[in-house]
Amino acid sequence: MSAKDPAPFADPAGTWNRRFAEDGYLFGTAPNAWLAEHAGVWRPGQRVLCVADGEGRNSVWLARRGLHVDAFDISDVGVAKARRLAEEQGVAVDFAVSDCDAYAWRPAAYDGVAAIFVQFADPALRARMFSNVVGCLKPGGTLVLQGYTPKQLEYRTGGPPYVSHLYTEPMLREAFASLDVVELREYEAELAEGSGHCGRSALIGLVARRR
């Protein structure tokens, strides 16, 4: 996501379809590192939802770990590539093409939710999405979330160019006040997630459990 795109949030399906129409995988095929580091919170056989899963790197990796995975994304081009990745890697993921607001969120259905770089959401959409994320977790279910902090606007190595879309620790604590925070950390790292997230990055990671 970058300021180069004219009104990048005006036509999210079209914008992301164009990005994902390029050869290769924009964010690579390896899982996000924060997710890989914390996926041990879920046991094989448990059910996890991947929110805005893009080209499937995270959902496919979780399915390879023996989880039952549902995933959705607004981009049909991204989901088609995700389906191919799952097939190539011999795993099943229940993919859907859907906008975040239109998704058929199932109440208290999931042992886990992975929300990795879902910062397309402005504050109003984010409030609705986070409420759905909490609501779809079973009691005891765990959210693993990764995003960028406002400092990322200095690095410009990925993520939206708008401060209102970025996360801080107090903001996530307040947004997920109904969950027990297991870990919440702002940190910096060199990302090498395809060409989409590449270079020094100002990150935030959250792991939080539904009571």
Say how far apart CA 118 and CA 140 lie, in whole Å. 23
Q: How many angstroms from the chain centroid is the CA of residue 171?
A: 17
Among residues 104, 36, 27, the alpha carbon closest in space to that of 70 is found at 104
DSSP per-residue string spanning 148-184: E-TTHHHH-SSS-S-GGG---HHHHHHHTTTEEEEEE
Per the CB < 8 A criterion, the answer to whether 79 and 52 are in contact is: no
Amino acid at 210: R
Of residues 120-179, those binding ligand SAM (CB under 6 A): 120
Select 140 or 185, whichever has its Cβ closest to ligand SAM: 185
- Chain positions 26 to 45 lying near ligand SAM, rule: CB under 6 A, are 27, 32
User: How far apart (Å, rounded) are the C-alpha atoms in residues 205 and 132?
Assistant: 19
Residue type, 113: V
Binding mask 82-121 for ligand SAM (x = CB under 6 A): -----------------xx---------------xx--x-
Q: How far is the CB of 138 from ligand SAM (least distance, A)?
A: 22
> Which is closer to ligand SAM, CB of 114 or CB of 137?
114
Please give the Cα distance from 24 to 131 (Å, whole number): 33
How far apart are CB 117 and ligand SAM at their closest, in Å? 4
d(CA 14, CA 8) in angstroms, rounded, equals 9
> Is residue 73 close enough to count as binding ligand SAM by CB under 6 A?
yes
Asked if 204 interacts with ligand SAM (CB under 6 A), we say no
> Are 125 and 118 contacting, i.e. CB atoms less than 8 angstroms apart?
no
Q: Which of 69, 70, 78, 202 binds ligand SAM (CB under 6 A)?
A: 78
Of 67-75, 82-90, 163-171, 199-207: span binding ligand SAM (CB under 6 A):
67-75
Residue 128 vs 140, nearer CB to ligand SAM: 128
Q: Is 197 strand, coil or helix?
A: strand
Give the range of 37-45, 70-78, 89-97, 168-176 binding ligand SAM by CB under 6 A.
70-78
Q: How far is the CB of 182 from ligand SAM (least distance, A)?
A: 20
Contact positions vs ligand SAM (CB under 6 A): 12, 16, 27, 32, 52-54, 57-58, 73-75, 78, 99-100, 116-117, 120
